[in-house]
């Protein structure tokens, strides 16, 4: 599939999705706002195509707290950037949004803007991109990151898996991330419009199946 064809596919479907889902997006935004203090949207820096940073959009699913400043650097502390098990920071509405993946819907805007694609390797934070092996980094970052991909389907219960590890972050970096990167590289090699359609369908079925 050519880059142009994939981009046209993304623009068409994201435009339709944003229009059709506007009432649902408004309802979710209201629920988030009423459930806990803080902004409706969660925005976070991720690494996009060719290593360019962008701000991803999600509905906020955790309690909003002020940035904690690192005592050494004087900069806002990033803390643990993965979710582990029954994280106590997750709000009541947030639990439902995460389980149903509805918190990801605002990323249709990121697709429409051109920062993301409907299907592609999930974008990581810079902290974990730094652990990409050089051999895979260029390939995985050669395409736009996606809302869903093969790894998203296989690791939809990732937080539960990490909860069983003695050191969740190290388990993510050394066990989960390498497998995700291998699947991402496989997607880049096999990318096609038909594969994108199949992965979108598998994602919908996986969510409904829960």
Q: pLDDT tens, 27-84?
A: 999 999 999 999 999 999 999 999 999 999 999 998 887 444 333 333 344 455 666 5
The residue to which tokens 């290593």 are assigned: 51
Rounded distance between C-alpha atoms, residue 121 and residue 114, angstroms:
15
Average of per-residue pLDDT across 130-150: 94
The residue among 81, 76, 96 whose CA lies nearest residue 31 is 96
What pTM was computed for the model?
Answer: 0.86
The residue among 203, 202, 196 whose CA lies nearest residue 7 is 196
Rounded distance between C-alpha atoms, residue 55 and residue 58, angstroms:
10
Structurally, the chain folds into a number of domains equal to: 1
SS3 184: helix
Q: Strand (E) positions, 62-153?
A: 117-119, 146-148
Tell me how crowded residue 88 is: count the other CB atoms within 10 A of its CB: 7
- Supply the range of the domain harboring residue 21: 3-209
Rounded distance between C-alpha atoms, residue 27 and residue 179, angstroms:
36
Q: Which residues pair with 69 in a beta bridge?
A: 76
* Residue 182 backbone phi and psi in degrees, to 5: -65, -40
pLDDT band at 197 (very low <50, low <70, confident <90, very high): very high
The residue among 66, 60, 56 whose CA lies nearest residue 36 is 60
């Amino acid at each position: 599939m050519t880059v142009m064809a994939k981009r046209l596919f993304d623009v068409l479907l994201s435009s339709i999705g944003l229009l059709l889902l506007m009432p649902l997006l408004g309802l979710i935004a209201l629920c988030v706002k009423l459930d806990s203090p803080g902004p409706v949207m969660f925005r976070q820096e991720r690494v996009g195509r060719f290593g360019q940073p962008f701000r991803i959009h999600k509905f906020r699913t955790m309690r909003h707290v002020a940035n904690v400043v690192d005592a050494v650097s004087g900069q806002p502390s990033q803390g643990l950037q993965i979710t582990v098990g029954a994280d106590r920071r997750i709000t009541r509405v947030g639990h439902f949004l995460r389980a149903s993946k509805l918190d990801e819907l605002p990323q249709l805007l990121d697709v429409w803007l051109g920062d993301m694609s409907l299907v592609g390797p999930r974008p990581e934070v810079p902290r974990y991109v730094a652990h990409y092996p050089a051999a895979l980094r260029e390939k995985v970052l050669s395409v736009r990151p996606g809302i869903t991909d093969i790894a998203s389907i296989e690791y939809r219960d990732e937080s539960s898996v990490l909860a069983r590890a003695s050191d969740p972050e190290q388990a993510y970096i050394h066990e989960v991330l390498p497998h995700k990167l291998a699947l991402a590289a496989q997607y880049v090699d096999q990318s096609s419009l038909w594969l994108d359609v199949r992965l979108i369908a598998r994602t919908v079925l996986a969510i409904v199946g829960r």
